[in-house]
A and B are shown apart, each in its own frame.
Chain A
Amino acid sequence: MSSYIRVALTLLMVTAIASDSIASAQQILTPAQVKGKRILLVVGEPEKGETNDDGLVKKHLEDQGYIVTMASEDDPATVTSDLDLIMISSTADPREVGDKYAKVAVPVFTWNTVDYPDMKMTGPERHVDFETIDPEQDFARSFSMLYGYFPNAVDPIVREFGGKTQLFGTSYLLPQNFGWGKPAAAADIVVNLEGDPTRAGVFTYEKGATMYNGFVAPARRAGFYIQDSTFHYLTEVHGPTEGDQDMADWWVGLKLFDATVRWTVSQPMAADPYDPAATKAALLKAAKGKKVLFVRRFDTPEGEESDDHIVDHLKEVGFIVKEVDQTQPQTEAEGEDLILISATNSKYKTTNKYRDAKVPLMCLEGLMADTLKMAGRRRYVDYGEHGEVKESEDPPEAYLEIVNSNHPMAAGLKNGYVKFIKEADVLKWATPSPSATIIATLPNSFHERAIFGFEKGAAMADEFVAPARRTMFPIDNPAFDYLTEQGHTLFDAALLWTIGTPAR
């Protein structure tokens, strides 16, 4: 076999793997495909005279073809190889359940809110990291919990039943018990509550995602807002109003439950191993012939050479590059396939340009997170930087912490610290709206996210809907030249994802 053929085959394989990885992230088993899946439902003993919905949940799952086995809260976490999902009911005593299912490499779907910390799904503090709402004690709040919000209509679970970025009815119109959690950066928040985008009623962790305290998810994890006796209140619509789209979009609690269960038992996203050459090869394939608008500041006092090298790299991987100055009108983007915004640009001079562009955009300037609707507008609260003497109390940094190793943008790097630039320097960050997929954060700065992306159609800050994929990849003015090998590979992987086919 000639080296040319070998390279071509490798390229083909890499492309296929990359495409599959992206596609698999979107796939949820159909109702027909879950038939025969085995579920272990962990429950507690109801108090004398009390009832709960565990039996209803079991019946509901069995009606869909799942095979459900019940386990007691006291049972050891014996997991057989044919088990597809563990469900933990809120009726199980969280002190008895503890962390015995945390390390199990089987997907877990739980509505045991108080057990979230032991499952490493949230922090440990009640009322701060998680909370259960009881209508006896929190009457008004138990009403406000009836209104959930889907922050991201392109989340695979929400997309599964055609949910929109809007409010919906979580449970029937009665004051009820609810639970919420505040998950770690790598989680996807499917539903938020009480107008707080970080207060998750439903949230998920992909296998391999960094959960709370650096714990890596051994399999998929999902948290859900119901409590002991509220499953039967999950909304659904029947009869004449079923055909009314607004009504149908509101009464989706049960559909949400079913889709979340199916997402949790579905095949997790599989990461390709870290391979800079393969990533670059995949980018070569994807970028070939694509037009990129590189927005930079010409004749900049700092970063000119670095910008030139970015252009060289873009051309090397096959992009057709058009360079424009920050002050040129955004009509320059017409006909382009990608907009890449350099960190040499002045945020003030670049204004709000490119925010509405209907083509994918990758931004290298972290401080533009607000103008591009990626984060809120509070400087040093919603976005900021490390290592800029006059603007930050944080020291310079060279490392990032990967939190979502299975995402294509992580380039196959394992969760944990990765040396990003060769010497500690300025690194920017933002706390994007929860629809963003977080790939890397700044070390020891839980809420300061460095690399992240928005899927086309996801809700960004201020309810702005992403017109196309949006990626933040913050490298300060000259830092492209100081990227480590891993940093370069992350750059290529971020470009590759940004120009990829968005989820439908």
Chain B
Amino acid sequence: MQRIGVFVCHCGSNIAATVDVKKVVEMVSHEPGVVHAEDYQYMCSEVGQAKIIEAIREKHLTGLVVCSCSPRMHETTFRKTAERAGLNPYMVEIANIREHCSWIHKNMEEATEKAVILARAAIAKVNLDAPLFPGESRVTKRALVIGGGIAGIQTALDIADAGYEVDIVEKTPSIGGRMSQLDKTFPTLDCSACILTPKMVEASANEKIHLYTYSEVEKVSGFVGDFTVDIRKKARSVDMSKCTGCGVCQEKCPSRKTPSEFNRGLNTRSAIYTPFAQAIPNVPVIDREACIKFKTGKCGLCQKVCQAGAIDYEQKDEIVTEKYGAIVVATGFDTIKLDKYDEYAYSQSKDVITSLELERIMNAAGPTKGHLERLSDGKHPKNMVFIQCVGSRCSDKRGKSYCSKICCMYTAKHAMLIRDKYPDVNVTVFYIDVRTPGKNFDEFYRRAVEDYGVNYIKGQVGKVMPQPNGQLLVQGVDLLDNKQILMEADMVVLATAIEPNADVRRIATMLTASIDTNNFLTEAHAKLRPVESPTAGVFLSGVCQGPKDIPETVAQAGAAAVKAIGLLAKDKLMTNPCTAKSDELLCNGCSQCANVCPYGAISYETKLINDHGIREDRRVAVVNSALCQGCGACTVTCPSGAMDLQGFANRQILAEVDAICR
């Protein structure tokens, strides 16, 4: 029988205002095994912890139940407290009477009853706890960054700067990401390429950084400190070691009808292409779907004109397997599809464009060489309408519930740049709210309104109607004047909501990193661990975690790098002892547990088993505790109940259920 001490925390008034803590102490003190019960205002404080240590020593406690906040907050704290008093840290159970009880209830009587029940469950579990001892695992001193946008580049640069090897895997032919598509950046209006290109060059020149462009992460196994990753290097059809980047192949390529991804499909590119002039590496790829040689077997022009002999039609995808200690996800974003917003006539008129398309139009390397013109007839627009929150802050299921965060600022930027360069253009912005928190952000927006005469109208646009004369009729509402507005426009720009890159689900699944309902990667703690994924060793950089502008992305990229460096700096990691264990006498050797194990931690051995006097060779499951992450998938799959999770044994969970149902 255990000698259990129960410690009930008030958490100031967080718990005590809703739960009668004295009553909880009184009720649990009669539970089997409980020899000590007390309450205190802040159990996690030094005084609170001292009370626990004193009780362990004086009452010779063998197990603890702390009724407090979520174990995610303070389980580690109290385990360390127990350890300081000489108790095995895994003899501590937390009854979460804050998040699971006081915060969600109003009635004190009911909340108190529930707190007692939760404490009883934890007591029942401690009664069956056994001391556990962590093992050790090694750390591979190399990091992987998935995504080569500004977030990934910055993270890689920072990790490399600390002296660690780092690989960037980028699925497109060049690093640079979304930022490379932007024309100018707010709030200082620097040219995006001018500030990004040096970083791209730095990343490619840094000998600690290895770039895998036109590559994708195919498979991830292992765990914190020791991930094994398969990277698929898609066939470029161009030998990177031979290509000089002269560009002749692209000039001569006769297949020129593929929409340019980089220019958001506003113009076309050749089948052999580098996405943009500053691309790194400056080595083209052949788009095999578009290439005439691959489609019909006839052509081969690029091979003929290539002086370096770099074109290789036979090249095949290559799988590279590499080991990493840490993985940083920096998969970025895309704009949402607008097929559910047909009221804005995006699909009906070439002159209704997204803001990202406007970036390309404004850019000197874009489809119009930087001239503001209508894509339908090339005419210079006189009236432009910007519509904010297209798909953002959406209460119905068409769009996103969140604010995309960057649109207010880039629209102010677009409006200002247009008014500055083309003072004859009238610019109107329809908005729900203008949100410009951030250093020098509101001043920036005020300049657009006050110095540049941009016409801001609070209200939404209901419909954009293309007219036979090529004009766009915009029907909106001015909420401040309380009147309907019907205005003509030459171009309409939609501040389209952003969403995580479509690949993120696949990548999150591979990494067993959790994602929220909007497909943003979840942080380990929304406030206190914002750059870590709940999966150990996986860190988050940039918009994959939530909407962000460039300064925020760069800041988070650095923070993710620091967390990764902190991990890589360690030689060994303590492993979680709450791992699965197989009872050889019960194991059927049926392999079902191995089939479901996401970590490849289960293997089989044929062993001589002495089953109560019957000696025979049996095929039995063996768990590699260094690989096991304690997910428990095997324990629920095992039909004979041979597989069990240490620290969360089936019996313990049933004992908790029994205690709750008592």
- A and B bind: no
Q: Which residues of B contact A (CB under 8 A)?
A: none
